[in-house]
Structure 1
Amino acid sequence: MALPPTVDERTTLESFLDFQREALVRKCAGLTDGQLRARPVPSSTLSLLGLVRHLATVERWYFRAVIAGDSPGDLYDLTDDFDAPFNDVADATGAETFAQWRAEVAAARRVTAERPLDAVGRTPGTGSERSLRWVFTHMIDEYARHLGHADILREAIDGRTGE
């Protein structure tokens, strides 16, 4: 996907976020469920599947809960473990995890399509305000940070590197 260099702000934000989303898919492409669940870096409990689950959770939180004001519930049981999306991957599959992630991306697109960038949502629990513009920027940052983790994990799994 080419990132358009001379477009309006909204198209820029949407394009950069979609680029990051597609990079996540590329970094996981061609791996088995076992490889996606693997935690190949001895000093870390991160797995590619855990990253996908986390990013699905973040998509749901910021777009559906904060911006849309919905109460979609948690994708994973966070009651006893806030990091459950990262930790509870033993029985997870790539197919089910990516289906869930794709559903959250589709929901995010529906939420954003009907709102201007200056639309403001509130963080459940605290009431802190967040504009859609802020959420787009935060999500680009969220993906970028975790894609760095994904690079390291993928390289440790099979030596593959790249964008």
Structure 2
Amino acid sequence: MTDPKDDLRVYLQDARDVLLWKLDGLPEYDIRRPLTPTGTNLLGLVKHLAGAEALYFGTAFDRPFAGTPLWITGDAEPDADLWARADETREDIVGLYRRACAHSDETIAALPLDAVGRIPGAPKETTLHRILTHMIAETQRHAGHADVVRELIDGAVGQRPDGLNVAPHDPEHVGRVERAAKEAAARWS
């Protein structure tokens, strides 16, 4: 029989690992440059999630961890946690994320799933179970963003560096998708 808390922690760790491998082998410019109109970039996603881990598993359970202040909490200027300043190193941000995750794992190990915490500014209390579920979704969401950004940089995609969980790149497939989009637009517009 499996332990539900351990199952949740495993899924969270898997998402964390996916996010971090997206930085592997890339130069400084590529991990920092904005590749969407909103400025999404790889290192900023890691910085943001360091702050989220600190908030959700630290502050919420009165187990403080000095993470990146999140703009959404009103503790930083808009989007400050979503990009890396030139004086912030990759090592510093990745190290902060790893320490925040380790602190989160200590909180997860120390508390039962029905432990009650409070997110600053939230209208009501919540449980560790709900926060774990939220952080799995949050981290997977941003790992998906990182997957798209990494693909735009150098074509690397997937959940693992070996690429075994995605079909091989097929330019003909892209052509089929484009043709279907044009045909549907002509038919349904």
User: What is the TM-score of this pair, normalised by structure 2?
Assistant: 0.75
Range with greater deviation from structure 2 (72-81 or 102-111): 72-81
Root mean square deviation of aligned Cα? 2.0
Corresponding position: 1:62 with 2:81 = no
- Could you tell me whether the CA contact under 8 Å between 2:48 and 2:68 is conserved in 1? no
CA, structure 1 residues 27+88, in 2 after alignment: closer, same or farther (shift >3 Å)? closer
Aligned partner of 2:102 among 96, 99, 106? 106
- Aligned partner of 1:96 in structure 2 is 92
Unaligned runs of 5+ in 2: 160-189
Corresponding position: 1:121 with 2:117 = yes
| 3-state SS of paired residue (1:13) | helix
- Aligned partner of 1:31 in structure 2 is 26
Identical positions, percent = 36
| 3-state SS of paired residue (1:124) | coil
Alignment of 1:14-93 (within 5 A): 14-41=9-36, 43-67=37-61, 69-72=62-65, 75-76=68-69, 78=71, 79=75, 81-93=77-89
Unaligned runs of 5+ in 1: 1-5
CA, structure 1 residues 125+76, in 2 after alignment: closer, same or farther (shift >3 Å)? closer
1:100 maps to a residue whose letter is: L
Q: CA deviation at 1:45?
A: 0.5
Cα deviation 1:133-154 (Å, max 9, x = unaligned):
0011000000111111101110
Q: Report which of the two structures shows the higher radius of gyration computed on alpha carbons.
A: 2
- Aligned partner of 2:146 in structure 1 is 150
